[in-house]
Chain A
Amino acid sequence: MQTMFARSKMWQSRTLVRSISTSRILLKAKSDNSVLLPQYKFKCGLEIHCQLKTDKKLFSNSGHTFNELPNSRVSFFDAGLPGTQPLVNPEAVLLALVAGVSLNSKINLQSTFDRKHYFYGDQPLGYQITQHYNPIGKGGSLKLLKKFDEIDEQEKTITLDQIQIEQDTGKCIHVEAGVSTNEYLNGILYSKIDLNRANTPLIEVVTNPDFDDLKQVKAFIKKFQSLVKFLNISTGELETGAMRIDVNISINGGNRVEIKNLSSSTAIIEALKYEYKRQIKEVESGNHISQETRGWNGSKTVTLRKKESKVDYRYMPDPELSSISLDKTIVEDIRTNFVSTLPDDMIEMLTSKPYGLRIKDAKLLINNTYDGLLDYYMDAFSKTVGMNDKVPSKIPGNFILHELIGQLGKFNLKFSPQILPVSKLSELINVIYIDGKLTNSSGKLLLKYIVENHDDTAVQSMTIDDLIAEFELEVPEQNDADLNLELGELCDEILSNHAEIVENLKNGKKLGSLQYLVGQGMRATQGKIQAKVFEEHFKKSLGLK
């Protein structure tokens, strides 16, 4: 009775554990969308600002690099000095075109620049040069797929309103001065202005309010980021501010509320959830949703600007910048030279033969989270699998995405092909799978050793063969009679030490425990003998097939 009770309790607690873990999984899967209620239709659009990866600024020759000394990357034009004039940086136009073509936008062959007027400390000209009347791209779309982007629908197309080129502003840092020897600063609020970012090229991409749920929003942001990274248009980083996203949201077709100051995709999703709930609450208490701009303070959205106090930007065509005149063949030229492969095509390719990567791994390669990793992988693949089909196709992926990236993480290193040159990695893989001179586990140890000692020139200068010799890792020749004898003795010893397992195996039970015995052999030989050698020995001794 007692045992029964105990058992049933155990069973209960197990179910409990299971139900918790299942609900966690479920929760995770639908958490973002679970706030949405069918009677309140969620509708949302995005406005994305994306810094272009150009060497120079949009209308001047100053370089724009991140994290430079404040005001050290400022030309006369950037500072808005009298008598200066803008000159369009063709590189920025090119990157905007790459973005436009990859997003299926209709490229305007005569786009023009306009001035958007407003005063602010970080706006040196008193206006921003943008494209209001004739932007470089009209319309466009980005298609989300269930199989790649984790949305609920098989596919969902988000359409774009337009793509425009514009200048970034400088930065204002508001400070409260303490007691200062400077009489002007003593105890007052003041702003520090850094113009390094001023006149950095941006594209602004405005989507239509096509998003029906939060998963789509999340998926779009991820996909957009990976697109601009993959095509080298932008770093796409939200954390550094290289990409900034404003959202607009309405419920049941009511007034739109715009939300700014969103610094991460989590902030975007959280702000949307909050704002959705807030609007429902307003409607349910009989209030009217007013069209306004709100900000996100980390826990809620707060009013920044009501519609009535909207600034009139007094748009005016720039009187000295001529239109960007493009050749009729530009779209085809851009497509052929810069947009021949899109991230989805690449994922499709990497997850099919001969590569056969998992979607997750393929995405990791194209996301440019690790700059140059895709090229590194492709190179390693062709130098290993591509050379000899003895190397299984998943091996380069395993070594790079799991072993190498794992070790880099452990030692807190950024990916760089210099740490483990492709040639060396390929040599390592080939030595294991083609030559059979090294076991897989010794190979992984060597990889770790190389990463750990990446700045030791002595280690760097050693070839894989040198390293194998140094650590005596070479797999002994199999036909060596002495070795065979020794191995036979070792295997016998292992078998006699594990009588129960042997018994089971002989009876055809728990066949998986053979691997345990192999493991014992590997441990005893410090991984120098390949697993399959032990496996063969044991099978022979036990009469298994």
Chain B
Amino acid sequence: MLKNSVDSSLVKIGRIHHAHKKYNIFTSTRPINKLKQQILSLNKDESKLLSGSLCSIKDNIATKQEYTTCSSSSLRDYKSPFSATVVDLLEKHGSIVIGKTNLDEFGMGANNSYSHIGQTLNPMYDDNKDSETFLDADKYVPGGSSGGSAAAVSAGVCDFALGTDTGGSVRLPAAYCGVHGFKPSYGRISRWGVVAYAQSLDTVGILGSNLEIIKSVYNVLNQYDTKDPTCIDNQVRSRITALTEKLTSIDDAKKINIGISTDYLAKGVTPDTLATIELLASKLFGSGYNIVPVKLPSLSNAVPAYFTIAYSEATSNLSRYDGVRYGYSTIEAGKETTEDYKSFISKTRSEGFGAEVQKRILIGNYNLSSEKFQNNYLKAGAVRKKLTAEFNSIFKLPNALYTLDVQGSDVHSPTKVDFIIAPISASRAPKLSDLVEKEKSDPISTYVNDAFVIPSSLAGLPSISLPWYSNSEKYPVGIQLIGQYGDDQRVLEFAKRVEELNSF
């Protein structure tokens, strides 16, 4: 049970309007008066796991009370007749939803720039949080696509927020905004009611100001849901438990092996980030952990494979937004009526989707076209399998989704590891002004960070982004801890040990 005092909760919701005005965090917020009433009417003796905690929900997760827009013009007035399993679970365990957060349209983006309600800004670098003024020099991007969720936690208006992580969309904004962001193993948390971007990768993630709250929320959401065909069933869950029980306790540092792969560190990492990883490694080594170099040769192909898979699935998933049954349609908008369904649908979609979404749909269609499909989509799937096999070969814990004979060979790591440490991003959050410049001069640059976060998405691995503080810098940078598939609990425990080392 969370020990949130009524007073601190009231302070938090008191900040909502100011924070939203400054950082453009929410697509909608619940009425402050009603939230106040909810907080004041809390039963103090209630012992639900998340009693009285305040949370924000990324606006690609369905709720019944307000619109679920995915920050897209195409769904700007779409109200879901049902709510996501994750939202039901949070409310059942006593959490109070304060609002829905901004994102890159349908989750497609890494800076929270592609939203029909505009850019969300990063509260962490704002040195005058309480003031109305916001200097351009203090305006940083929050990362994306769960930028609104990271900003809500960072601005201190809620205890935690739900995001979705398809290729780093929880971990990157958490790192940029100085909060904790956990992407559990794929299939641990139900996706029923989570609007699909690329559902072989989509994972509900948790952003919070500390590890305790993340653990509590994870424990509530870590449930089998019969409504989601990709949610792992209880049989697999027990298999994972049985496998992890065989591993040595996390407390015995000497028996814990930490992997570092130069394949992660190869591209565009700033000295700043590199130094952080080195420091982390030396601290772990100093505490008795074994540091083991590991090889993941397929990492070099991970980014193109990811974009091929994600864009293809996105193209397919977004086909339903045709304006016929719900959402934006060109007729309803009072424009000219169109003669046939084809022009109606294409007009609706051209007007309803933003530029980035349209770009990704086009690329996805190209990859799915009958000439390219065999070459691209299936090849990407093969890379994904190979990468997963490489991960399986370096972790001590067998992958519960695979039978033992396809766990992969031992060539990549003679010593098997418990966890891998890696950066989250090449550098800190960019300034808003730099981002605009950079996108113009070097559009590929926004993909640099993807190399660090995408591998865990492709292999479905539990990964957490932790803020790492140092003597020299005012603001933390993100570091990433990765575990074998299903090893979520131990990743969270290990994260706690790592945080304990981050004192100076």
A residues with a Cβ closer than 8 A to B are: 76, 79-88, 115, 117, 119-121, 124-127, 184, 188-189, 191, 193, 195, 312-316, 319-322
Q: Is the CB of A117 within 8 A of B319?
A: yes
Q: Is the CB of B368 within 8 A of A117?
A: yes
* 8 Å CB contact of B200 from A85, A125, A188, A319: A319
The contact string, 1 if C-beta is below 8 Å from chain A, for chain B 196-207, is 101110000000
A–B pairs, 16, beta carbons within 8 Å: A76-B81, A81-B81, A83-B68, A83-B80, A87-B227, A87-B229, A124-B325, A126-B318, A184-B331, A184-B337, A312-B369, A314-B373, A316-B368, A316-B373, A319-B199, A320-B230
Query: Distance in Å from the Cβ of A468 to the closest Cβ of chain B?
Result: 60
Of B8-16, B187-195, B298-306, the one with at least 4 CB within 8 A of chain A: B187-195
Q: Indicate the member of B75, B199, B322 with the most A CB atoms within 10 Å.
A: B322
Q: Is the CB of A117 within 8 A of B316?
A: yes
* Chain A residues with CB below 8 A from B368, complex form: 117, 314-316
In chain B, residues 198-242, which have Cβ atoms closer than 8 Å to a Cβ of chain A? 198-200, 226-230
- Name the residue of chain B whose CB is nearest to the CB of A319: B200
* 8 Å CB contact of B68 from A82, A125, A319, A320: A82
* Chain B residues with CB below 8 A from A321, complex form: 229
Query: Distance in Å from the Cβ of A428 to the closest Cβ of chain B?
Result: 53
A320 CA / B228 CA spacing, docked (Å): 9
Query: Distance in Å from the Cβ of A175 to the closest Cβ of chain B?
Result: 14
**Residue B474 interfacial (CB < 8 Å):** no
**Residue B402 interfacial (CB < 8 Å):** no
Query: Distance in Å from the Cβ of B243 to the closest Cβ of chain A?
Result: 21
**Residue B33 interfacial (CB < 8 Å):** no
- Name the residue of chain A whose CB is nearest to the CB of B344: A121
* Chain B residues with CB below 8 A from A314, complex form: 315-316, 365, 368-370, 373
Query: Distance in Å from the Cβ of A185 to the closest Cβ of chain B?
Result: 10
Given the contacts A119-B342, A314-B370, A319-B199, A85 and B229 also touching, CB distance less than 8 Å: yes
* 8 Å CB contact of B84 from A83, A117, A313: A83
**Residue B345 interfacial (CB < 8 Å):** yes
* Chain A residues with CB below 8 A from B61, complex form: 83
Q: Is the CB of A80 within 8 A of B227?
A: no
Given the contacts A126-B319, A316-B377, A82 and B341 also touching, CB distance less than 8 Å: no
* Chain A residues with CB below 8 A from B230, complex form: 85, 320, 322
Given the contacts A80-B325, A126-B319, A85 and B227 also touching, CB distance less than 8 Å: yes
Q: Is the CB of B322 within 8 A of A126?
A: yes
Query: Distance in Å from the Cβ of B236 to the closest Cβ of chain A?
Result: 12
A315 CA / B194 CA spacing, docked (Å): 24
Given the contacts A80-B320, A82-B75, A191 and B326 also touching, CB distance less than 8 Å: no
Q: Indicate the member of B200, B342, B368 with the most A CB atoms within 10 Å.
A: B368
* 8 Å CB contact of B322 from A81, A83, A119, A322: A119
A472 CA / B78 CA spacing, docked (Å): 75
The contact string, 1 if C-beta is below 8 Å from chain A, for chain B 130-148, is 0000000000000000000
**Residue B281 interfacial (CB < 8 Å):** no
Q: Is the CB of B78 within 8 A of A82?
A: yes
Contacts A83-B80, A83-B195, A121-B322 supplied; 9 other A-B pairs, CB < 8 Å: A117-B319, A117-B368, A126-B320, A184-B337, A189-B339, A195-B325, A314-B315, A314-B368, A316-B316
Q: Is the CB of B319 within 8 A of A119?
A: yes
Q: Is the CB of B341 within 8 A of A121?
A: yes
Query: 5 smallest A-B Cβ distances: which pairs?
Result: A126-B319, A314-B368, A319-B200, A80-B320, A82-B195
**Residue B105 interfacial (CB < 8 Å):** no
- Name the residue of chain A whose CB is nearest to the CB of B319: A126
Q: Is the CB of B326 within 8 A of A81?
A: yes
**Residue B324 interfacial (CB < 8 Å):** yes
- Name the residue of chain B whose CB is nearest to the CB of A126: B319
* Chain A residues with CB below 8 A from B407, complex form: none
* Chain A residues with CB below 8 A from B331, complex form: 184
A188 CA / B344 CA spacing, docked (Å): 14
**Residue B19 interfacial (CB < 8 Å):** no
A119 CA / B365 CA spacing, docked (Å): 13
* Chain A residues with CB below 8 A from B193, complex form: 83
- Name the residue of chain B whose CB is nearest to the CB of A87: B229
Q: Is the CB of A316 within 8 A of B312?
A: yes
A143 CA / B80 CA spacing, docked (Å): 52
Given the contacts A80-B320, A82-B195, A126-B319, A119 and B345 also touching, CB distance less than 8 Å: yes
* 8 Å CB contact of A83 from B192, B316, B325, B337: B192
* Chain B residues with CB below 8 A from A184, complex form: 331, 337
In chain B, residues 52-96, which have Cβ atoms closer than 8 Å to a Cβ of chain A? 61-62, 68, 70, 75, 78, 80-82, 84
**Residue B126 interfacial (CB < 8 Å):** no
* Chain B residues with CB below 8 A from A76, complex form: 81-82
* Chain B residues with CB below 8 A from A319, complex form: 198-200, 313, 316
Given the contacts A119-B342, A314-B370, A319-B313, A79 and B325 also touching, CB distance less than 8 Å: yes
* Chain B residues with CB below 8 A from A87, complex form: 226-227, 229
* 8 Å CB contact of B319 from A79, A81, A127, A189: A127
The contact string, 1 if C-beta is below 8 Å from chain A, for chain B 346-359, is 00000000000000
* Chain A residues with CB below 8 A from B319, complex form: 117, 119, 125-127
- Name the residue of chain A whose CB is nearest to the CB of B320: A80
Given the contacts A76-B82, A193-B324, A82 and B229 also touching, CB distance less than 8 Å: no
* Chain A residues with CB below 8 A from B377, complex form: 316
* 8 Å CB contact of A82 from B62, B312, B315: B62
- Name the residue of chain B whose CB is nearest to the CB of A115: B316
Query: Distance in Å from the Cβ of B441 to the closest Cβ of chain A?
Result: 34
Q: Is the CB of B370 within 8 A of A312?
A: yes
- Name the residue of chain A whose CB is nearest to the CB of B346: A119
Query: Distance in Å from the Cβ of A49 to the closest Cβ of chain B?
Result: 22
* Chain B residues with CB below 8 A from A119, complex form: 319, 322, 341-342, 345
The contact string, 1 if C-beta is below 8 Å from chain A, for chain B 227-267, is 11110000000000000000000000000000000000000
* Chain B residues with CB below 8 A from A115, complex form: 316
* 8 Å CB contact of B373 from A88, A120, A315, A322: A315
* Chain A residues with CB below 8 A from B318, complex form: 126
